[in-house]
Structure 1
C-alpha cells in the first residue's frame, strides 16, 4: 500500500468514525446500546468511532442497521464536492429519540452529518398528545423556537410564555426550560440550538 493510499484509508476511517459517533449521539444512544444491537464488542466500536481501526462492510452494515440508517448513509458526504450545502427533502428528515420522546414529543432532525462536533441542531418538534410530566431541558448554547401550529405555554426559568403560530422565542439553553402546559394540540414548532464556539459533542 502506498503512502497516499494509507493516508486516504486513514481519512475514511476517521470520517466513518465521526459519522457513526454523531448519529449515535443524535439518537441519544450509548456505545453499549449500539454494541448490543450490532453484535460488536464495545472496545471495537469505540476504536471504530475514534478512527483507530478499519472494519468490514458486514460490520458497518450491522452498525448502520443499529443506528436506523442505510449503509450508504454512512458514506453520504465523504469527499463530496460543492460548498458544503445539504438538502433534506420533505419527508426525509431523521426521526430521533430524545428525552422528551416519552412525553409524546416527536423530534425530526433537519440537518446532520456536520462533523465530530455540532455547531447547531435544527429540529421540527411535534407534540400530538398530552402526557405530563413534561421534560425539563438544560444545555449549552442559545435556542430559538418558532411556532407553526397549536398553542403551548413554555417555561424558561421562572417565566412562562404562551406561544401561538408565528410567535418566536429565543433564550439561553443553560437555564432550565420546557413545556409548561399544552393548550392546543397538535403542536408543531421549529427549534434551533446554536452551540458556543467549539461546538457540542
Structure 2
C-alpha cells in the first residue's frame, strides 16, 4: 500500500470525524459507494483529484491540507517558481506537481502532470467536475467517452471529467501538460 495514500486517507478520516460527518454521509456527498469511500480513507484506493477537491470543500479545508498536512496561508496570490511545486504521488502512470498549494480556498486545482511512456494500456478514470489540459511538451493520446484524441505541444482540451478518460504519452517520450481540475 502506498504510504502517501495512507497519510492522505488518515487526514481525511480525522477531519471528517472532527466535522462530525459519517462515512455514509461523505460517500453520499461524493456519489461513490460506501466501500469505495472507506477504501479512500484506509489508503487502499487512489483518490481522484476532483474527489479530493470535493472532500476538501465538504470539510471546509484546502486540498493542500489533505495532500501535505499543511494549511495554505496565501489568500491574495501565490507564486510557484519553476520546479518548486509540491510533488503529489497520485497514480503510477502520472506524476503531479501542484502549482497553487499555498493558496487557500481555491476554486480549481492547477497541476503540471508528467505522463511517462508505458507499454500497457492506461487505466481509465472518471471524476466529477471539469478538466482543462494544455500540452506543454510531447504528444498525448487522450481517451474520453469512446473517442481517441491526439494532442501535440500547444494543443488543449476541456472536458467533462465525469466521463471515463485516460491518457498516454506517445512516441516513446514523456509528455508534460498543465492540468486544471474544477
| TM-score bucket (shorter structure) | 0.5 to 0.7
Residue 108 in structure 1 maps to residue 97 in structure 2:
yes
Name 1:137's counterpart in structure 2: 125
Cα distance in structure 2, aligned partners of 1:28 and 1:170: 31
Cα distance in structure 1, aligned partners of 2:179 and 2:120: 20
Query: May I ask how many residue pairs the two structures share in their alignment?
Result: 134
SS at match of 1:185: coil
Cα distance in structure 2, aligned partners of 1:157 and 1:138: 10
Name 1:11's counterpart in structure 2: none
Residues 113-140 of structure 1 deviation map (CA, whole Å, 9 limit, x = unaligned): 5557x52111101123315231212111
SS at match of 2:80: coil
SS at match of 1:29: helix
Name 1:178's counterpart in structure 2: 166
Name 1:152's counterpart in structure 2: 140
Verify the 8 A CA contact 2:117 2:168 in the aligned structure 1: no
Q: TM-score, normalised by structure 2?
A: 0.60
Residue 128 in structure 1 maps to residue 116 in structure 2:
yes
Unmatched 5+ stretches in structure 1: 1-23, 36-41, 52-66, 195-201
Cα distance in structure 2, aligned partners of 1:124 and 1:102: 15
Residues 86-122 of structure 1 deviation map (CA, whole Å, 9 limit, x = unaligned): 1112221011121xx212x211111125557x52111
Q: TM-score, normalised by structure 1?
A: 0.55
Unmatched 5+ stretches in structure 2: 21-66
Residue 189 in structure 1 maps to residue 177 in structure 2:
yes
Residues 22-42 of structure 1 deviation map (CA, whole Å, 9 limit, x = unaligned): xx88x98211xx69xxxxxx7
